[in-house]
Structure 1
Amino acid sequence: MHPAKEHFDDWAGIYDDYYADQEIGDREFYVELAREADGPVLEVGCGTGRIYLELLHADVDAYGIDVSREMLDVLRERAEDIDGSPHVRQADVTDFQPERNYALVIVPFRAFLHVIRLEDQQAALRTLREALAPGGRLVLNFFTPDIDWIAERYGEPQTEVLERDGQTYQITTLAELEDAVEWIVRERRTVEHDGTVVSESAYRLKLVTKREFELLCETTGWSDWTVYAGFDGEPLERGGQEQVWIVEK
């Protein structure tokens, strides 16, 4: 079982509401890439369909995998509202069997950071390379570690209020640097309603630097790659910026 599965199963019901106001500008970027792809597209970590359903709406030949069955159930329900026919299944990126060769594989919204161990990161990148057709591209994004952010926010509970279906929920997140050598973060989230805890779960992230990911690409058979800051092609210059990688087979 993927270590993040339980967390995302638990969060499936409120995931879309929680992230509704936390857009990072990736949706249009990935949809445009998918439209330009000369063949089918695979989204890794498609979740509840935040990007995947936009691909369907754009008539992209899109496929998706996710570790959480509960998240995929939400995606399928949402697809009914747009008369879509999603091709998604539960699978772990480290060992799934590709159903075809894809022209483009995308891993949006920092999903790669949920792959914690070095051997799993390498397995995932090898598997994705094998899933691509000749000349295909892997595109993914995740944030650059920011020392100032870690010093200011980690170890201090952060509380937000979520309004959903006329009800008010209090969501508390506590992020801690679990392993300062390997740069592994543990985040715990608690959801309360009327003073009662209704949900509590945790997950881990492996923070990845630019040099680390370059070495991962080099050791897993990729031929060429480019990294930008954000989705407008700006240079990567400081911590906290969003790394956007375009990796060529």
Structure 2
Amino acid sequence: MRALEDLAVYDDADFYDQEFAARTHDIPFFLDQAIQAGGPVLEVACGTGRITLPIARAGIEVTGLDIMPSMLARARQRSQDEQLPVEWLEQDCRTIHSDRRFALVFSATNAMQHLHDLDSVVAFLTSARKVLRPGGTLILDVFNPDMAKLCRLPESPYRHKSVVERDGTQLDVQARTSYDAATQVLRFTLDYLSGGVCVRTKKVSMRCFFPEELAALCRLAGLDVVQRYGDYDQSPFTSTSPKQLLYCRPRTAPAQIDDPPSAPVMHPS
């Protein structure tokens, strides 16, 4: 397995909280899934607890897992401040280990796209499957590749979003991307501009998963895709959907591949 890239962008947990403070549109979806599952729930790549903590506030037994100590320190402090009983695990998602078995495991907001190589992807999916209860569900959340966006030229920057810092300063985020079709990795350079001056730069790389490829990878890891949606409103998945939300369950029996029919025996005349 390859080493994970771009982890340095998650060192600054305080700025991460500021950057994603306004991102709330996905929380109701995962909260509803957690309530339906009833717990225990595991969020993989939980960050500072943006989704984990609302689940805990709803009274659901929840565990947050992340590889970054800085993110978990912030998440742990937030749960302590609210006296929420959340277990936090500092682990690599490719080697999850826990004595618990979870009714729901999920990876939100494109987090699994930090896994660039096949071995890492299959290791994560297999590891997640092993900590599921019988009948438990794994939910994967990745973007649906848009060929027009993948074809953007690196020399053509575009406005990506804006971020409001704690002091009220607005940062305009300008993005440049390049896509490597051989590895299916989309590389972003994000420049954070204040008054037109760049005050921060991030580099992030994300593996693109095409729909049938992702379903095949799940099957390779012993998972069956039982449902697929195109966005957090649970709209049907189509080729133009912005998201791929896959509901996976452990395969109850190994896949059977029928033996090919025997070739006829040819006897010399």
Question: Which sits farther off after the overlay, 110-119 or 83-92?
Answer: 83-92
Q: 1:174 to 1:192 in 2, by over 3 A?
A: closer
Q: Bigger shift: 60-69 or 228-237?
A: 228-237
* TM-score using structure 2 length: 0.82
Structure 2 CA distance for partners of 1:233 and 1:156, relative to 1, 3 Å: same
Where does residue 7 of structure 1 map in the other structure?
A: 9
Specify the SS of the correspondent of 1:226.
strand
Q: Is 1:17 the equivalent of 2:18?
A: yes
Larger radius of gyration: 2
Give the aligned length: 247
The 1:74–1:192 alpha-carbon spacing in structure 2 relative to 1, beyond 3 Å, is farther
Q: Name the Cα RMSD after superposition.
A: 2.3
Which sits farther off after the overlay, 92-101 or 58-67?
92-101
Aligned counterparts of 2:102 and 2:94: Cα–Cα separation in 1: 17
Identity, in percent, stands at 27
Q: CA deviation at 1:51?
A: 0.5
CA distance 1:151–1:232, change in 2 (3 Å): same
Paired amino acid for 1:180: A
Instruction: Name structure 1 gaps, 5 residues minimum.
Output: none
Tell whether 2:54 aligns with 1:59.
Answer: no
Q: CA deviation at 1:230?
A: 1.1
* Contact in 1 for aligned 2:172/2:194 (Cα 8 Å): no
In structure 2, the residue corresponding to 1:14 is in which secondary structure?
Answer: helix
Q: Give the superposition deviation at 1:167.
A: 4.7
What is the TM-score normalised by the length of structure 1? 0.88
Alignment of 1:114-133 (within 5 A): 114-133=114-133
Change (3 A) 1:20 1:155: farther
CA distance in 1, matches of 2:216, 2:19: 34
CA drift of 1:223 comes to 3.5
Aligned-pair CA distance for 1:107? 0.7
Tell me what 2:259 maps to.
Answer: none
Q: Deviations over 1:14-72 (max 9, x none)?
A: 2222223344x321111111112244110001101110000110111100111211111
Structure 2 counterpart of 1:71, one-letter code: M
Are 1:241 and 2:254 counterparts? no
Query: Could you tell me which residue of structure 2 aligns to residue 188 of structure 1?
Result: 189
For the Cα contact (< 8 Å) 2:230–2:245, is it kept in 1?
yes
Structure 2, unaligned runs of 5 or more: 251-269
